[in-house]
Every structure is written in structure tokens, then in C-alpha cells.
Structure 1
Amino acid sequence: MNQKSEIILLLEQEEGTKTKPYIDSLGYPTTGVGFKLGPQGAPIGHYTFTLTQPTIDAWLQSLVDTTVSSMKSNSVIAPALPHCNQPRFDILTSMAYQMGVSGVAGFKNMLKAIEAENWSEAASQMLDSTWAKQTPDRAQRHAAVMKSGQWQPTYNF
């Protein structure tokens, strides 16, 4: 992978950044760049702090590092990773950040298509999912990058 990772910019664009806690679309108290703070339905009043940008940056980098490490050690995901250029790798990392490594491991047909370097099929498998129904715009953008292997024109990195 010769290109530099754009995962931080990608997650900031897709997740947004908030310095104060809020309730996300699924009812979880959240802050920063999609940092889940507590259980679904927990009162937001239990979280009374403001994050600084350096704290958000450090927390995000730590979560990304943990996600990548977990992907590389996952026996279902790991065989697909060497077939990915940097944009495709970042897309898988973004998916794992959003739905967990176990969520991405459930995309068995997508991962098989990646191993075969059948990028159109990998993109189709991404879009044929509950994840794509729940976050259709993000899924469309991610599938476009998976198919092309390029950030542009989908993202301006």
C-alpha cells in the first residue's frame, strides 16, 4: 500500500465530530467521532463534559489502531486485506469502526470477492446488506470506492 491512509479524514467526514455528548440515531450516548459512551437509552444528562480537539484526535487514533489490529487478527477478514489498496483498506476499516470487526466478518461474500479481486461483486455485496439499508448514503459512497479503488470522485482526499 503506497498511498497514505485517509481513515481519519474519512471517519471525521462520515461520523462528524462533536465535543459534547449527544444521543445518536440508535439511542446511544455518543461523543467525539462516533465514540459510544454508554448503553442504549442511557440519559444524556449522565455525561456532562466537553472534549478538546487533541483528546478527540487521540481517542480516534486509538480506536482506529485497535480496529485495524483486530481486523488483521480476524481469521475471516485477514485473508482479504493483502488484496486491498489503501483506499479499499480504509473503507473496510471504516466499516469495522461503524459496525465492529465482527460485523464486517459477517460480510463473507464481500470478503471472498475481495480475495478474488472482483471489486464489482464486493461492492454489490456491500450494498446487499442490512448495513446498506440502515446507512444507505455511506454504503453507496463506500461501495463506490471499493469498486474503483480510488477516493475521487466520491471523496475529496
Structure 2
Amino acid sequence: MKSKIIPLLCQEEGTELTPYHDSLGYPTVGTGFKIGPAGVPLNNYTFSLTQPVNDVWLQSLVDETMAKMLADEEITEALQHCNQPRCDILTSMAYQMGVAGLTGFHKMLEAICDEDWEEAVTQMLDSNWAEQTPERAERHAEVMESGQWAPTYDFE
């Protein structure tokens, strides 16, 4: 099965070619590209992206995120127990929180290594991440538990 990380991130992050404030108040552009510290006025950012530039930037950030994930032993071990949808969910989490944020989910990663999907979901949803983005966390948890995109996402 081919990775769906790009359509997943486009759906979860949305794509705005002009700067906007994300849900936590960070200036952001494109497909969730944080471009400054929280609370900075948007009039400090006097540019917009084209879709082709956004697409290249997104792929570059995904590639960088995946390389950092594979450099972490605990994440790499967990990925070996995941099918493609579950790998994409972990990549999406790392894209959103940073790889350092994903490494904080020790109990979730341990549950994944044990292929205890219910416990992995419990650990995902018992987090600050799930409190900050509850709908995304619920969607990601559904895929982590089932190992299937549908019916949660419609790009299978």
C-alpha cells in the first residue's frame, strides 16, 4: 500500500497560500508551515506561496520528518510493527508536533511494538496533543486502532 501522508496532511492541516494564525496563534502558511512565534501580527509577513512552491516545501518537510523519525530507535522499532496507514499516522503526528513531540509518547510507541492497538489509542488520546486537537486525534486514533483509512478518511 502506498503512503497517503501528503493527502492526509493536506486534509488535516488545510492549505492557505497566504499567512494566517493557526489554532495556537502561530503565524503559519501553506500546509501548516509555522513561520514565526505565537502572537506575531500577520502584517509582518508580506508574501504568499504558489501551489507548486507549497507542494515542494511540503514534500521537503515530510522527507525531513521521516528522516528524523528513522534516526530515533524507539520510533523506528514502532514503525516496523505498523502497516502503511499506521506509519502515516505516526508521520502526521511527528509533522504536527515535531519528532521530539512524538518521542514523548513512550507508552504509545511501546504499545505499538506490542501491537496492542487499543493501548496505543488510549495513550494517544490521553495527551496534551489530543486536548489541543481533539478531532484530529480522534481520527488518527481510529486509523491506528483499525489499521485502515476508511471510513475515517476518504482517499484510500
Aligned twin of 2:86: 88
Aligned twin of 2:61: 63
Alignment of 1:57-136 (within 5 A): 57-136=55-134
- Whole-angstrom CA distance in 2 between matches of 1:143 and 1:41: 30
Alignment of 1:11-22 (within 5 A): 11-22=9-20
* 1:36 is aligned to 2:29: no
Q: Normalization by structure 2: what TM-score?
A: 0.97
Comparing 61-70 and 71-80, the one that deviates more: 71-80
Could you list the structure 1 runs, at least 4 aligned residues long, displaced by more than 3 angstroms after superposition: none
Aligned twin of 2:21: 23
Unaligned ranges ≥5, structure 2: none
After TM superposition, give the deviation of residue 14 of structure 1 in Å: 0.4
Deviation digits for residues 89-128 of structure 1 (CA, Å, limit 9, x no counterpart): 0000000000010111000010000001111111111011
Comparing 107-116 and 69-78, the one that deviates more: 69-78
In structure 1, give the amino acid aligned to 2:10.
E
Aligned twin of 1:45: 43
Which of 120, 128, 140 is 1:142 aligned to?
A: 140
Q: Normalization by structure 1: what TM-score?
A: 0.96
Deviation digits for residues 48-102 of structure 1 (CA, Å, limit 9, x no counterpart): 1111000000000000000000001012311111111000000000000000101
Paired positions, count: 155
- Whole-angstrom CA distance in 2 between matches of 1:86 and 1:19: 29
- Whole-angstrom CA distance in 2 between matches of 1:154 and 1:62: 26
In structure 2, give the amino acid aligned to 1:91.
I
Q: What SS does the aligned partner of 1:5 have? A: coil
Deviation digits for residues 22-69 of structure 1 (CA, Å, limit 9, x no counterpart): 111211110000000111222211111111000000000000000000
Q: Between the two proteins, what is the percent identity of the paired residues? A: 66
- Whole-angstrom CA distance in 2 between matches of 1:4 and 1:91: 13
Unaligned ranges ≥5, structure 1: none
Q: What SS does the aligned partner of 1:31 have? A: strand
